Amino acid sequence: MDANLPISAASQATIPWLSLIVLLPAAGALLMQILPGDEKNSSESPRNLAISILFADFLLILFVFTKYFNRQDGGLQLVERFSWIQPIGLEWSLGVDGISAPLVILSGVITLLSAAASWEIKSKSKLYFSLLLIQASAQALVFLSQDFLLFFLSWELELVPVYLLIAIWGGSRRLYAATKFILYTALASLLILISGLALAFSGSTFTLNLSELTELSPNGSFGLLCYLGFLIGFGVKLPIFPLHTWLPDAHGEANAPVSMLLAGVLLKMGGYALIRFNVQMLPQIHIQLAPALIVIGIVNIIYGALNAFAQDNVKRRIACSSVSHMGFVLLGIGAINALGISGAMLQMISHGLIAAAMFFITGTFYQRTKTLSIPNMGGVAKALPITFAFFLTSSLASLALPGMSGFISEITVFLGITSQELFTSTFRSLAIFIAAIGLVLTPIYLLSMCRRVFFGPRIPALALIDDMNIRELLIGLSLVIPTLMIGFWPRIAIDLYKASTNVLSDKLLSSSLIALSQSLHIA
């Protein structure tokens, strides 16, 4: 969504496809309420309806982005815009470009598979699956909104289902984890709102349109304050150290399908928003703070990896690994070139699939073993050979084994940093060297977890449990196969966003030249 690229007539939507993508799950949530409320229908009909609607929505996403989305166009496409609430200037304004398109697809995949993984939900199933459908609409709206207030409302809306999903269907400390999640994210939202409204009032005329806000590109102390407000606000969701402490608790108490949503989609909202707001709207400030962003990313990588070693709960260890892996997104964004931003995008897609797979598989053996404590497990590989194969494959993808999507994304981020000549060679070398320590730590804490859980001393009570069934096998394959496909043929993902990241890189280059010219003029 670059201000220098006008929206052509061909980019205007003749049919409101994006609105259909957003509203279909919400309509399903309303339809859910007319289902009979007895226990039999409450446990099965809502699940079947939710899966059917999410599957239809995913097919709609694939149809629209295959038939109408032009991968060669780096600008905004399929634009839908009309006035909604005039007194406050709110517009129903939707559009898609290469930065949002792959994340909408990822959101559709993960939400559908999360619903399919929620097979064991019996209590209050109508409410549970209604919340999943509302979450699907809110997620899509976050990625497609082109009005700041609409973006903010959808950003807030998606917090409510997650809070309830953790607070009602979570573990023994679910209320603590859910409250911590909502407090962190709600306080962060206040900074987002203040920064966005400050930008909206900063021009000659008040505007909430993201394209018009992008044209402002404020500099100086005002731009710096807006940038920091967005960085902290979106950094909580990414999450950035030390704003990450809600994540291990949320994952530790949420059930596996909700953890799939948290890791697969919600964290990616933070990375997406940093690119959309900090990089696109405030390019000159971003160039100045890019080295600091790289330093924060390195801290994320190392701290997250070291913290993972201290976790004896499988889900909490995977959650800490997510903190580490999202550090590579910060590195890519901080590289301020097409290669680095491409790596950040690919890391978000890759991690979304891998982390969702790991949490799903963790949920399958939790249903059988009734424990996530690593010391209380051992020797289950013989009883669960298929589960072990999937978990090991996901772990290898997470530690960036060549041939997996994680390897492609992380090496692209490193190449983005090494090719950025605005940084000194010393800074580039140190950044690569220290960040690479995380690549060494990751296989240690992941493979040691695999060894302790699936091998080691056998626990007799876990010797007779059943392996993954056909439904679970299909869900696992739906996550692992794309990971392998992207690892061997990354163009499947890269071609979706390449044009947009190139446009964004050109804008950053132009801003850096302007800044250099101004500094030379002052000198």
Give the model confidence (pLDDT) of 424-438 as tens digits.
Answer: 889 999 999 999 998
Sign of CA dihedral 201, 229, 1, 262: negative
pLDDT at 321: 94
- Confidence (pLDDT) at 217: 84
In a domain, 4, yes or no: no
Q: Which domain covers residue 122, as residue numbers?
A: 9-522
3 in a domain, yes or no?
Answer: no
Nearest Cα to 153, choosing from 165, 161, 163, 145?
Answer: 145
How many CB atoms lie under 10 A from the CB of residue 281?
26
Residue 247: phi and psi, rounded to 5, are: -70, -50
**How much is the pLDDT for 6?**
42
214's tokens: 């992008």
Give the H/E segment covering residue 49: helix 39-67
DSSP state of 232: H
Q: Which residues pair with 92 in a beta bridge?
A: 82
The pLDDT value recorded for residue 518 is: 57
Domain assignment present for residue 236? The answer is yes
Tell me which residues of the chain have a pLDDT lower than 70.
1-13, 37-43, 461-463, 513-523
Q: Which residues contact 309 (CB under 8 A, 6 or more apart)?
A: 441, 444, 445
Q: Identify the pLDDT of residue 515.
A: 57
Whether 2 maps to a domain, the answer reads no
Token pair in block for residue 202: 């900063």
Query: Is 148 part of a structural domain of the chain?
Result: yes
Let me know if residue 211 belongs to a domain. yes
In a domain, 81, yes or no: yes
- pLDDT given at position 219: 87
Total domain count, the chain? 1
CA angle 249, 255, 259 (to 5 degrees): 65
Interval 89-108: pLDDT, tens: 889 999 999 999 999 999 99
Residue 432: its pLDDT value, please? 93
Q: Residue 453 has what pLDDT?
A: 87
Residue 261 belongs to a domain:
yes
